[in-house]
Amino acid sequence: MFKRILCSLIATSIISCNETVKEINDSAYYSSKADSIHAQHIENNLIPMYSVAGRVRKMSIPEMMEQDRIPGLSIAFVDNGQIAWTKHYGYASLEDSIPIASQTVFTGASLSKPVTAIAALHLVEKGLLNLDEDVNLKLKEWKVPETPLTDNEKVTLRRLIGHNAGIKNDLWSSYLPGEKVPTLNQMLAGEEPSVDPPTSVIHEPGSRVEYSNPGYSIIQKLLMDVSDDPFEPLMQSIIFDPSGMENSTFKQPIPDELMERRAVGYTEELTPYPYRLFPYLAAGGIWTTPSDLAKFMITLLNDYHKGSNTLISKEMAETVFRKNIGRYVFTLWNWGDDIVFQHYGSNQGFNCFMYGSVDKNQGIVVMTNSDNSFGLFDYIQRAVNDEYQWEYVRPEILNPVTTDLSWVTPFLGSYNWRNDEVLLTQEDNALVFQRDAEKYVLTQTGERVFVLAEIPLKISIPESVNDPLTIWEPDGYPYRTKRVDENNP
């Protein structure tokens, strides 16, 4: 059924470039003809991280959705303070053949975190919170349990925002409608009806970065305690209303009007998940649309570039996007003169990401109702980098070369790659990469560089056998590993 649906999707969702500046069956919106061209280029220019010239495997978003069995996807792109274009693909409900539309709501999962962090910084500027004081000075009823780990260093708001407060990362549970749902205090204390362990400090605060969902639930409680307001109306007044986010909520269950427009979440096998409640609101409870999150991004970037002071001051926004600060509200990368920011989200049946360039004043939000979207996200990010000339990772199309490989013998053998043992052998004048029962002939693209286009990987062999071999993975990450032998188990 899915293949039939996607074939129909391809026929109806590819919009010609001369049909612009209007919505067409709610499948797309373009602010200008140039924006429609950009959108079409991204849609049709999904290229692996590593390819060999003359053998580039290019795919479209609908084709990759069909390949990876992703039911629905929605995109909003931001350019210089406005939503430049949106595109919607596939189905919010396969069973009822309900297409994704501009107002389809998804669970934003951990995209709740940057929204919550900016609300916390807003209250810092109002004088209700302090970034660097012990949060127990403001928390009521429940407090962070004191241990010897907190004797010298304290859990602070700055550390909670940046995931280096030492809080154990338990993954909060979701609940079916009709089940008893724990309060925030019960979740933090690990008390019934919560089924999760109590929140605890397992590292000295400030000693390491370790992603923590409960850390953001502490931020949620902190916001509620200092404002004496429930979390949902607080976020409505601080974030949603000023940003113009009319299709977003932290309420659990979500309001009837949004319930009618929600996407159904699906497994990798296209089995639908039942609707669930996410009581860990600040850590992952938002229901929203790409366009609403794009409006949040626009408002925050306007505070940074223009000093609009809508969510936070220009000075505070500069601390959010400051170079070389490590993880804070977003994951940040410094690449050339630019700063690229990013955050992912994942709840049962839903994946999403927010990705932007500070200097370009551009960004993209992509949301899906699938457990199987992260590979596609990497492709879309590279297509955006390529289309808009961002100073960040772009696909590498490498020219094949042929050289004498007599030097390679000491490097042949077994290597550990993630949880696999892979084998590097030589057949004639070619290197062969074996993983499980599969053999791949590597294409040489440099003196000591080889590409495995089928996965795809790039393998860099060092000058010395004492140095690690580098396997550049499909997302561009360098994984370094040494040969496995009797002397190096």
Tell me, letter by letter, the H, E, C secondary structure of the chain: CHHHHHHHHHHHHCCCCCCCCCCCCCCEEECCHHHHHHHHHHHCCECCCEEECCCCCCECHHHHHHHHCCCEEEEEEEECCEEEEEEEEEEEECCCCEECCCCCEEEEECCHHHHHHHHHHHHHHCCCCCCCCEHHHCCCCCCCCCCHHHCCCCCEHHHHHCCCCCECCCCCCCECCCCCCCCHHHHHHCCCCCCCCCCCECCCCCCCCCCCHHHHHHHHHHHHHHHCCCHHHHHHHHHHHHHCCCCCECCCCCCHHHHCCECCCECCCCCECCCCECCCHHHHCEEECHHHHHHHHHHHHHHHHHCCCCCCCHHHHHHHCCCCCCCCCCEEEEECCEEEEEEEEEECCEEEEEEEECCCCEEEEEEECECCCHHHHHHHHHHHHHHHCCCCCCCEEECCCCCCCHHHHHHCEEEEECCEEEEEEEECCEEEEEECCEEEECEEEECCEEEECCCCEEEECCCCCCCCEEEECCCCCEEEECEEECCEC
- Rounded Cα–Cα distance for residues 241 and 86 (Å): 21
pLDDT tens series, the chain, 489 aa: 444 444 444 334 333 333 332 333 468 999 999 999 999 999 999 999 999 999 999 999 999 999 999 999 999 999 999 999 999 999 999 999 999 999 999 999 999 999 999 999 999 999 999 999 999 999 999 999 999 999 999 999 999 999 999 999 987 899 999 999 999 999 999 999 999 999 999 999 999 999 999 999 999 999 999 999 999 999 999 999 999 999 999 999 999 999 999 999 999 999 999 999 999 999 999 999 999 999 999 999 999 999 999 999 999 999 999 988 888 999 998 878 899 999 999 999 999 999 999 999 999 999 999 999 999 999 999 999 999 999 888 999 999 999 999 999 999 999 999 988 999 999 988 999 999 889 999 999 999 999 999 999 999 999 999 999 999 999 999 999 999 874 454
pTM higher than 0.85 = yes
The token pair that represents 155 in the structure block: 């859990």
